[in-house]
């Protein structure tokens, strides 16, 4: 077994085999005892001065020799078994942590300064208000007479749905109504008396369906007239023929008269044939039923108002009272500077400033009173 330096590789070559080869590595022996404490490092010595000398000339490089042939690589020896790892030494105990130092005290804050507010100047006294003059007294002119106005619109509307007959010939009977459609200021008393609650002129309209229910031929008639407060109104009658060959005859007209409050009005009738009556009928579709009597009453209204009375003369106005004396002007505090003492513009602002601030304002606001702070 031998080691030979190889100039081409720069390494030692192992030469040998068999028993001459390197054997397996033996087991590692046990480690020694615990490692002692490291000693303190000694102080570093002073560095010596660097020597000064000229560098010699570089020699001429020799020529490269011929490369020899590479020898065969020897067989690698088997690796020896790894020895057992020694027991690790115990770690030293950690030292206790030192106490934290106390925090330094903060500096104390200075007290806030308090300044007293300057006093407000006294308000000047207002002048007294003059007394109000006495109100003028004048009589009101007389009211002119009212013009002729229209009357209240009174009305009544009525009908009858029953048959009305004459028990005897040539005998006066009043037409009656038993249904009210509407009324205002007018009413029906005892079924036939149209009664007025207010004085006025009224127009009465009516219709009556006459029918001859028997024989008798020509000459059968009905008379109709008006009665006021139980007395027949002169020249108010009308005669109507109701022959058998005419099934129905309708009498319809109107009458106008003046009535006082409390007056009543009736429509009267008579016949020379008791077979003639005032009939109510059931209507034939599509018409509704047929009343025997219809009465409508309407107050006659004026269409125009009368002239308005003259307006009375207005009273004269009283004399105006004297103006009260102006009160003394209020005093101004010494630390108030008015910038518009002769200006009629209203003062809108009161401003508190120092004398230096006041002197620096240019131009000064004519609508401001500057309050000079002490």
Residues 6+ apart with CB under 8 A from 266: 174, 175, 192, 193, 194, 226, 227, 228
Q: Which residues pair with 157 in a beta bridge?
A: 182, 296
What CA–CA distance (Å, rounded) separates 371 from 79?
Answer: 109
Percent of the chain scoring above 90 in pLDDT: 35
pTM of the prediction? Answer: 0.44
Does domain 155-299 fall into CATH 3.30.360.10? no
| Average pLDDT for the chain | 75
Render the burial of 334-350: b for 16+ CB within 10 Å, e for the rest: eebbebeeeeeeeeeee
List the structure tokens of 209.
């369906």
Cβ 148 vs Cβ 327: under 8 Å: no
Identify the band that residue 164 occupies on the pLDDT scale cut at 50, 70 and 90: very high
Per-residue pLDDT tens over the stretch 8-43: 777 766 565 554 445 455 565 555 556 556 667 666
What CA–CA distance (Å, rounded) separates 313 from 109?
Answer: 88
What CA–CA distance (Å, rounded) separates 340 from 347?
Answer: 8
Identify the band that residue 4 occupies on the pLDDT scale cut at 50, 70 and 90: low
Render the burial of 199-238: b for 16+ CB within 10 Å, e for the rest: ebebebebbbbbbbeeeeeeebbbebbbbbeeeebeeeee
Domain with CATH 2.60.120.40 in the chain: 155-299
């Amino acid at each position: 077994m031998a080691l030979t330096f190889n100039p081409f590789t720069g390494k030692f070559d192992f030469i040998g085999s068999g028993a001459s080869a390197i054997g397996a590595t033996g087991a590692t022996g046990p480690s020694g005892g615990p490692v002692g404490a490291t000693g303190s490092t000694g102080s570093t010595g002073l560095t010596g001065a660097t020597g000064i000398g000229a560098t010699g000339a570089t020699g001429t490089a020799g020529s490269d020799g011929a490369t020899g042939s590479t020898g065969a690589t020897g067989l690698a020896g088997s690796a020896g078994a790894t020895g057992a790892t020694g027991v690790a030494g115990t770690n030293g105990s950690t030292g206790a942590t030192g106490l934290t130092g106390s925090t330094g005290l903060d500096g104390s804050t200075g007290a806030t300064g308090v300044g007293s507010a300057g006093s407000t100047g006294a308000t000047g006294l207002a002048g007294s208000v003059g007394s109000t003059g006495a109100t003028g007294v004048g009589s009101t002119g007389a009211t002119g007479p009212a013009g002729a106005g229209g009357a209240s619109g009174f009305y009544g509307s009525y009908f009858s749905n029953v048959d009305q007959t004459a028990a005897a010939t040539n005998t006066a009977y009043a037409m009656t109504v038993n249904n009210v459609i509407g009324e205002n200021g007018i009413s029906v008393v005892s079924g036939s008396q149209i009664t007025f609650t207010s004085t006025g002129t009224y127009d009465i309209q009516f219709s009556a369906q006459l029918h001859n229910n028997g024989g008798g031929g020509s000459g059968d008639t009905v008379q109709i007239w008006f009665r006021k407060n139980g007395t027949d109104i002169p020249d108010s009658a009308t005669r109507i023929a109701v022959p058998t060959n005419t099934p129905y005859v309708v009498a319809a007209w109107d009458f106008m008269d003046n009535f006082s409050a409390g007056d009543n009005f009736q429509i009267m009738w008579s016949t020379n044939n008791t077979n003639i009556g005032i009939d109510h009928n059931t209507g034939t579709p599509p018409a509704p039923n047929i009343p025997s009597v219809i009465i409508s009453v309407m107050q006659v209204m004026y269409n125009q108002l009368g002239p308005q009375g003259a307006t009375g003369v207005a009273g004269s106005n009283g004399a105006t009272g004297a103006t009260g004396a102006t009160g003394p002007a209020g005093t101004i505090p010494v630390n108030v500077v008015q910038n518009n003492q002769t200006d009629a513009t209203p003062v809108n602002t009161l401003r508190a400033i120092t004398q230096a601030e006041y002197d620096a304002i240019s131009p000064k606001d004519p609508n401001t009173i500057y309050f000079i702070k002490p």
